[in-house]
Chains A and B, each alone.
Chain A
Amino acid sequence: MIETKNVTKTFDSFTALDNVSLSIPKGTAYGLIGSNGAGKSTLLRLLSGVYKAESGQVHIDGENVYDNAKVKARVFFINDETVQYNSYTLKELKNYYKLFYDNFSEDIFNKLHATLKLPMTKKISSFSKGMKRQAAVICGIACKTDYLLLDEAFDGLDPTMRIIVKKMLVDAMIDNDLTVLLSSHNLKEINEFCDRAGLIHQGKFVFDRELDNIKGNIHKIQTAFDKPITKEDFADIDILHIDITGSIVYIIARGDAGELRSKIDKHNPKIYDILPLTLEEIFVYEMEVLGYDYSGVTGE
């Protein structure tokens, strides 16, 4: 389990993370969402022991991460930047990781490598961005750590590669009970692959939810009445957003779909439709309720 308690990290006068607390259960695929500069990479670097927090605690399975070789051997971090490996060939990189990670599996490496067919003896500096990412991913999975952190997970990978990488992650989750923490701008990817997601905005951790719960519990309703209707008529509903134009009412509300229906049925609607909400819309309204402006959170 990954756990941070009241973690703050500053760079000179800039507060990159402000009092962040989160916990990620073992075996989860966790998606970290936020705009550029929100603090996602800083958080991942703290979790992998690259940075030390000024205050607060960063724990993995109950142990401090920073300067703790034992814990760090169980975490693999795929950095957003791969420049540090440029002077190695993939073969050298593999041998380098083998030194640090006791569980490194030559077998898994070869299997993954057979799918991707990256050159083994060319310098990584000659690789394209996508190839560098692939190299890092196969090394990361072959190290068989308990935790895999991916910064900008699918960045620079073409659609076919995204599929292959996801398949690799599925295998590792089933075979090794791998916990995956990935940051991404891409909500579709997070929606499909993650159990939980957290949203970071300007260094603050805005919220953290199990995706199935938020999705099953928030609804967009379009309804219409043949009598004047006001917001007060729906006082018994947990409304996130309401828009009344004449007799047509749009409601975004939390709650069970059946209960919402019966509460609205009391007013004899002439039309009643539950419309699908995208994950993006859910986040927009959740943030609106918390008093944040969502614009730009997932903007590229």
Chain B
Amino acid sequence: MFSINIQGGKPIYEQLYTRISELILSGSMAPDEKLPPIREVAKDMGINPNTVQKTYQLLEQNGLIYSVPAKGSYVCKLTEESDALASLRKKSITQFKESAINAINHGVSAKTLHEEIDSIKEKQQ
């Protein structure tokens, strides 16, 4: 379902949030697609249903999913202007900066980093 390797030191709802938001933003989960019920996710992962509920609440607060009473939760249609997309982009830029600083400190040249980005772009196209 949402396969993640649960890490001991990170809140599980955060790990699950990251996984589901990746699926939504990458388009692997389409707009208006139904999310599996909390019960199924908790059973499948062997985790506490309260944790799954916390994740779904956070996804809804951040505009990634919407819920229909008595039916379930569905993926939101994300536009270029949506806050969820903006905050995720901001987060990935921060992460990228951190990795880039480490890479430069380890002696990787800026040129090599640029080449890596270009090759990723090529592969995706």
Q: Which residues of A contact B (CB under 8 A)?
A: 27-29, 162-163, 166-167, 170-171, 173-174, 187-188, 191-195, 211-212, 215-216, 218, 220, 270-273, 276-282
Give chain A residues whose Cβ lies under 8 Å from the Cβ of B102. 271-273
Q: Complex Cα distance A27/B48, Å? A: 11
Task: Tell me the B50-96 residues at the A interface (CB within 8 Å).
Answer: 50-51, 54
- Main secondary structure, interface of A, reads helix
Q: Which residues of B contact A (CB under 8 A)?
A: 6-14, 38-39, 42-43, 45-51, 54, 98, 101-102, 105-106
- Beta-carbon nearest neighbor of A258 in chain B: B94
Partner of A215, one of B10, B38, B98, B105: B10
Cβ–Cβ < 8 Å partners of A171 in chain B = 39, 43
Instruction: Please state if B46 and A188 are interface contacts (CB–CB under 8 Å).
Output: no
How long is the Cα–Cα vector from A194 to B6 in the complex, in angstroms?
A: 14
Q: Can you list 12 contacts pairing A with B, beta carbon distance less than 8 Å?
A: A162-B46, A170-B48, A171-B39, A173-B50, A191-B12, A192-B46, A195-B48, A195-B51, A212-B13, A215-B8, A271-B102, A276-B9
Contact A279 B9 (CB under 8 A): yes
Alpha-carbon separation in the docked complex, A272 to B102 (Å): 7
Contact of A278 with B9 in the complex, beta carbons under 8 Å: yes
Q: Known contacts A27-B50, A170-B49: does B11 contact A191 (CB below 8 Å)?
A: no
Per the bound structure, the CA–CA distance linking A191 and B6 in Å amounts to: 9
* Chain B neighbourhood of A270, CB < 8 A: 105
A166-B46, A170-B49, A173-B49 are known contacts. Are A192 and B98 too (CB-CB below 8 A)?
no
The listed residue (A173, A271, A282) touching B48 by CB distance below 8 A is A173
B53 to chain A, nearest CB (A): 9
Nearest Cβ on chain B to A189's Cβ, whole angstroms = 9
Q: Are B8 and A216 in contact (CB under 8 A)?
A: no
Given A167-B43, A174-B38, A273-B102: A280 touches B8 (CB 8 Å cut-off): yes
User: Could you tell me the distance between the alpha carbons of A173 and B50 in the complex, rounded to whole angstroms?
Assistant: 9
Contact pick for A281, options B6, B9, B48, B49, CB 8 Å: B9
With contact pairs A29-B48, A29-B50, A270-B105 given, residues A211 and B11 touching in the complex (Cβ less than 8 Å)? yes
